[in-house]
């Protein structure tokens, strides 16, 4: 297994750099079930942030990218159950950030009875409790 950093996955997804994108594609094409790539939950959250902020990707495109990574047989995603649940919450909302959904779902799967936040959007969109 080989760990994958955010910038490698982003270069693979967006194919926007003449040197790094082909290198990322070569690496990704060599991954297999026997020798998979590993995407940490932090990297998954960063990917969505970079796609949204730097590349102005739509929510639909971000959801498709996350789903593609989660469904890939050649990738292992840390805490995939929470990531799938976060993807569903992200898709069901017009304003929730994927990273916030991942935080809430990871906490829920760990046994948390609630997730508290100062973020009003996360509280209203994801059922977190707004801390006052």
Per-residue confidence at 130, pLDDT binned at 50, 70, 90? Answer: very high
If asked whether residues 73 and 92 sit together in one domain, one would say no
pLDDT for position 128: 95
In terms of pTM, does the model score above 0.85?
yes
If asked whether residues 90 and 73 sit together in one domain, one would say no
DSSP for 14-45, please give it: H---TTHHHHHHHHHHH--SSS-EEE-HHHHH
pLDDT for position 1: 97
Distance in angstroms (rounded) separating the CA atoms of residues 43 and 20: 18
Q: Scanning the structure block, which residue is given the tokens 């996350």? A: 66
If asked whether residues 98 and 67 sit together in one domain, one would say no
Count up the domains in the chain and report the number: 2
Query: Does residue 83 contact residue 44 with C-beta atoms inside 8 Å?
Result: yes
Domain of residue 119 covers: 81-132
Distance in angstroms (rounded) separating the CA atoms of residues 65 and 123: 25
pLDDT for position 68: 98
């Amino acid at each position: 297994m080989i760990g994958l950093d955010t910038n490698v996955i982003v270069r693979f997804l967006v194919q926007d750099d003449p040197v790094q994108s082909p290198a990322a594609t070569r690496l990704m094409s060599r991954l297999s079930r026997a020798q998979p790539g590993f995407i940490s939950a932090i990297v998954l959250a960063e990917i969505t942030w970079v796609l949204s902020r730097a590349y102005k990707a739509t929510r639909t495109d971000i959801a498709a990218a996350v789903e593609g990574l989660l469904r890939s047989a050649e990738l292992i995603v840390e805490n995939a159950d929470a990531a799938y649940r976060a993807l569903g919450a992200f898709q069901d909302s017009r304003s929730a950030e994927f990273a916030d959904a991942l935080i809430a779902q990871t906490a829920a799967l760990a046994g948390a009875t609630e997730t508290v936040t100062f973020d009003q959007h996360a509280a209203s969109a994801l059922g977190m409790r707004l801390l006052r």
